A and B are shown apart, each in its own frame.
Chain A
Amino acid sequence: MSKGKIVSIHSFRGGTGKSNTTANLAAQVALTGKRVGVVDTDIQSPGIHVLFGLDETKMGKTLNDFLHDKATIREVGFPVGENTGDAEGRAQLTGKNLWLFPSSIRGREISQILKEGIDFNRLNEGLQSTISEFDLDYLFIDTHPGLNEETLLSIATSDILIIILRPDNQDLQGTSVTIDIARSLDVPHLLLMVNKALPKYDFAVIKAGIEAQFNAPVAGVLPLSFDLADNASNDLFSLKYPEHDWSKALRGVAEAILAAQ
């Protein structure tokens, strides 16, 4: 079995920044020369492809085709390093080993798979064979918010689970349950990441408070930033603006992933 690591990115609530974080983390890790894959298992509302410059016209085979036995995983992998386009940030990925495994954005295919439910063994095998076929060091999984069955599966198979939360009570409550689940499923590495923290707060205090609450490491506290909200939709923010506080904190999280053995 391959030694590649599965890194799932999860959050209790929607809109917490999973897709942006996943895409930027994957890009940062790929920049170090690692072989990286990104799977969008948010089958209900896929979104990460946009950050990699993939739109409906360019999208070929998808995860849905694979789950329906209509495509091999090889066919689904979209080589980001060969299709960086002219976006300033993404252009730095030219020649890097990074593949995206997109979910279908066609409404009919989405409702079909939701109706049938996902074959979990197939998805699990799919993840494993993705790692071995592409000889990946890291496979990042962008998930649907909350604890539905696909998400539980991705948590169960992950080597590293990153839970993103906003520093407020609702997220803390939801995150506490996910942490308990991750521990019950023996996930080897659990990392917390705070996103959308109001810059007026002391991030060190937020980090210490959450770590004490959950007895789990906070790998980064990323600020709420209008720069990000304005610029993040179609390029990789941390590549385009490497000196921004959000990007610096994100690189800290990437380092924590690379350090996890």
Chain B
Amino acid sequence: MNQDILDFLRNTEIFSGLADDLLQTVAMSATSRALAAGETLIRKGDVADSLFIIKQGWLKIVTEDSKGDELILNKCGAGEVIGEMALLDSGLRSASAIALEGANVLELSRAIFMDVLDKNPKVAFAIIASHSERLRHNTFYIEKAIDWSLKTADGDYSFVESTQPLSADARANGDKAAELLAAFFTMVRKVKEREDGLKKQLEQLTFEIDQARRKQDFEEITSTEFYANLKEQAKTLRQKRNQS
């Protein structure tokens, strides 16, 4: 009955190194949950009691921006573990997780997870390693992003030319920090393009009236007898109006 769960767990990153008996325990104590599209699995701020392993489908990890609008931090799919962070630190959920489509997850209680960690330091190391790697990575990217933001604010786009656009394999690796930076980079490039376009447009608006042609067109219209009459009539008309 648990065979498929067992097979599935064996292929996830965190649990792949577990001995069979431990894997068996995990598989037996995990409960399956089906989520409908739009259903909230984890609510930000809630007390955390378990972690989830996504079996199938996609979830979005979201928080709110300063205006209260939803801000998507990440997208997670089959094989990924979510919610383990809160089990290790404050115990409160730091973000919400919402199903993007019909999805299936395995829920593992804090007790079992702690037990696994106790009995299998390798799992703990795997988690620590992945977290600190993520951290180191993020610090680098955050510093870059800060540097670029300050430059962009000053209108200094020199880094756009001197920086290699971040490679597509960052995306393929699911490296969210690198993706963020790539998105940031794209944004700056587009802002720069728009700014250049606007400058060009304004130059055209301001400077491209052909004054000689303007004069010629004006004279062509005003040199007719019709126009001379009209000007005379208009003058009379305005005088009359002003008198009344």
Contact = CB atoms under 8 A, between A and B. Distances in A.
A157 B235 CA distance: 9
A147 B204 CA distance: 24
A177 B218 contact: yes
Nearest to A214: B209
Say which size band chain B's interface belongs to: 20 to 34
A172 B208 contact: yes
Interface string B204-218: 111011100110011
B231 A205 contact: no
Contacts of A184: 218, 222, 231
A186 B238 CA distance: 9
A147 B219 CA distance: 13
B240 interface: yes
Nearest to B215: A180
B202 A149 contact: no
A206 B196 CA distance: 15
A16 to B, nearest CB: 16
B117 interface: no
A129 B114 CA distance: 94
B194 interface: yes
A123 B135 CA distance: 80
A205 B210 contact: no
Nearest to B205: A209
A209 B206 contact: yes
Contact of A186 (B205, B210, B226, B235): B235
Interface in A113-164: 120, 124, 147, 149, 152-153, 156-157
A215 interface: no
A209 to B, nearest CB: 5
Interface in A167-215: 167-169, 172-173, 176-177, 180-181, 184-186, 188, 200-202, 205-206, 209-210, 212-213
B233 A201 contact: no
A120 B237 CA distance: 13
A190 B238 CA distance: 15
B67 interface: no
Given A181-B218, A210-B205, A213-B206, A200 B234 contact: no
Contacts of A259: none
B172 to A, nearest CB: 32
Given A173-B209, A176-B214, A180-B214, A205 B234 contact: no
A210 B209 CA distance: 11
A180 B234 CA distance: 15
B198 interface: yes
A1 interface: yes
Contact of B237 (A157, A172, A173, A202): A157
Given A173-B210, A176-B209, A156 B217 contact: no
Q: Which 9 A-B pairs have the closest CB atoms?
A: A156-B234, A1-B244, A177-B217, A169-B208, A180-B218, A176-B214, A209-B205, A209-B206, A185-B234
Interface of B: 194, 198, 201-202, 204-206, 208-210, 213-214, 217-218, 221-222, 226-227, 230-231, 233-235, 237-238, 240-241, 244
24 contacts: A1-B244, A152-B226, A152-B227, A153-B230, A157-B234, A172-B208, A173-B208, A173-B209, A177-B214, A180-B214, A180-B218, A181-B222, A184-B222, A185-B234, A186-B234, A186-B235, A200-B194, A201-B198, A202-B198, A206-B205, A209-B202, A213-B205, A213-B206, A213-B209
Given A173-B210, A173-B213, A209-B206, 9 more contacts: A3-B244, A152-B226, A152-B230, A156-B230, A173-B208, A177-B217, A184-B218, A201-B201, A213-B209
